[in-house]
Structures are given as C-alpha cells and as structure tokens.
Chains A and B, each alone.
Chain A
Amino acid sequence: MKEPTIVGFLCNWCSYEGADRAGDARLEYPANIRTVRVMCSGRVEPEFVLHAFREGASGVLILGCHPGDCHYKMGNYKARRRISLLKKTLEQLGIEPERVRLDWVAAGEGERFAKVANEMADTIKGLGPLELS
C-alpha cells in the first residue's frame, strides 16, 4: 500500500529554513511529506487543513517559529489557539487529533525538523488513510 500523504505547512522564516537545513545536512526525513511554504504559521487557516484532507492527505503538519520568535510577533500564538481548537473539534468528531500537529522548528534546527517529520510520518502510518469528501 502506498504511504499516506502528509502535507506540511512550513513558515517561511524559521521552519522552511529548518527543512532546508535538514536537506543540506542530508538528514533522512520521509518522502511522503509534501511541503507548502506559508509566510507564517498564523497564516494557516483551518480550511487549509481540511482542504489538504479533502485532497487526499491523511495528516497535516504545521511548523512555525518557536514562541517569542515569530517574524510577525504573534502569528504562532494565534496559530496555537486556532490549531488547538481544530484538534479539539476533530477529537470530538471521532477523527484522531494526532492527524494534525503544530510544532516549532527554528531556522537552524535541521535535526529537529527531521525528528518531527519522522515522528509525524510514523503516527500517520499507524493511523492509516483518512477519507474526507
């Protein structure tokens, strides 16, 4: 069976760089993560997550700057509330909240990126595909 797809929304200022760093360092991270660069984790609206699910993703990873480091000062704090609400809603709907993960990866944290991405891939593999229509 083909690996379930994960969509990763990566903030331009930290996490995207972090992913790049992981690539440069030739760290292994899963091939089934499709990354989308966004300007800030706070840009990720709940519809983005749903849209990814609807287009066939089985998990969504949202990565932003560590709290206090957001380029726009508070985008990641707002993302934290919004994504927590989203996860709570999914949980109540009987959809595994682990399918959505918000985490922080700084520009220099190539290893952390690889670690989070690998963990996410394992989680989603364990959960199997999600079919939203």
Chain B
Amino acid sequence: MAEFIQHVINGISLGSVYALIAIGYSMVYGILQLINFAHGEVVMLSSVFGFYVAPYFLAHMDPSIGLFLVVLTVAMVGCGIVGFLIERLAYRPLRKAPRINCLITAIGVSLFIQYFTQLDFVFGAIPQSYPELMSREVYFTIAGAEVSNLQVLVLGLSFVLMVALQWIVYRTKLGKAMRAVSENTEVSALLGIPVDRVISFTFILGSVLAAAAGTLVSTMYPKVDALMGTLLGLKAFVAAVLGGIGSIPGAVLGGLVMGMAEEFTVGYLSSSFRDAIAFAILIVVLLVRPSGLLGKSRIEKV
C-alpha cells in the first residue's frame, strides 16, 4: 500500500511538470494550429539559465526556497524573452505560409537551439550537474509514503501557476483576447484585437510556464543537458495530445495521466519502459480518440 501511494505521489509531481510544459504546446496550437517543436528546448534553456545564474546567488544565499524563487524568476524572464524571439523571428514571417512550412521551421528552430547550446562557448555537449537550490528532505509521510519538500514545491508551484493562468485567460482582457484569437483569428482582427501582439503574449506565457517546469525538473533531478528538452518536450506533447490539444484543462489532465503512467510503468513493470510508455499512449490515443480526452472533435482544415 505504501508503495502504491508513493507511486501516486511521484506520478502526480512528475505529471505536474509535464502539465506545465503541455500547456505551452496546447496554447500555441490553439492559436496558430502549430506544433511548436522548439518548446522542449525552452525547457532545456531554463535549466541552462539556472545553471549559469545560480552560482552568483549561491555566493550570497544558502540553498533555500528563496534561492529557488530567485533562480526561477531569472529563468522565467530569460525563457519569456526566448519564447518571444522564437515567434517573432521564426514563425511570424511565415504567418501566411502553408502549415507544413511552419512545421518544418519548428523542427529547425528546435535543432538550432539544441546544437547552438552544445557549442563549447555556450554550454557544451557534456551534461553538467545543476546547482542545488534546495536540499531535499522528507516533508511528511502519509501511510508510509514519503513526500519530499521538493515534491510539495512542485505541486504547490504548479498549482499556483495554473490558477494564475486560469485567471489570466478568463479574467484579463489580453487573456480573453487569446481565447478570441484561438476561436477565430479573422473575427478577432475585425474587433480591433492586435492579433500579433496576442500571439506574442501566448508564446511568452507558454515559455514562462516551461521555465518553471525546467527549473523544477533540474531541482528534482539535478542535471543539465543540452538534449534534455527533446524527451521532456515529446512527452509533454503527448500529454497535450492525450488531453486534447488546444485545451488548457486537457493539457493539465494529460500531463497528470502521463506522469502517473510513467511512474507506474517504472514501479510495476520495468524502468526500461519509462520512455516507451509515452509513445504507447500516443499511438493508443491517435487510434482510439484522436481529439483527446477533453478535446472537441473537429474536422482538420489541412
């Protein structure tokens, strides 16, 4: 029993991270019908930013929640800028191009960031260990299962960010404009909504959430690797598809299911299936319910 609960707790915290990343895929897809393959790279860059700035702060602060929040803030700002630039430089010039061009560009941007990061004078190809922002300790135990302070942090931060996102999307003018643009871009422009600005805002928002995911991942599994974004990004993408791409609640649900599935696979099957489960889920979803758990089934325009 204790083991089962332990897996559930681990699954939820891993799933929250996937959810944070999946939201970015889903929001961008909702607005541009584009799968932003470079999104995983934004997650990776978040850890790279943390890797470079944390030592400066560590000179003045001890590992603590405060240090974590400072590094998180820097990573969020950095990734927000990166997300903005990716859209502005790579996708905006292709706004009227066929969708396949955008998709190929997305893959190109993703590879560009990966290989650029691997350059020796940038970060390098060798994985590095991520500075310890907070030391892990057991926060409490329930039914014999241990919950670490890092897991509490993951859950708490994810929850706060998702509530904040919900507030932005349903209560602020720019958030409502995001929903308007994702429902109908042409009509939104006719209402005087500056569509390009709304698209930039969407990329920034998604990238800020990706920054949180990256910082959390590296805090839990203290490693930075220029290639770490690929698998994280792919799994989160599967989570977004599972939940119904374009739907924010779907992304959250998909992320949690995904984290849980991975954790249970590792726990009860074999850890060598850790990454395979994501793709098994993807295949099943595409066969059984391509619109995802919470997605509206609609006819693809392509």
Whether chain B is bound by chain A comes out as no
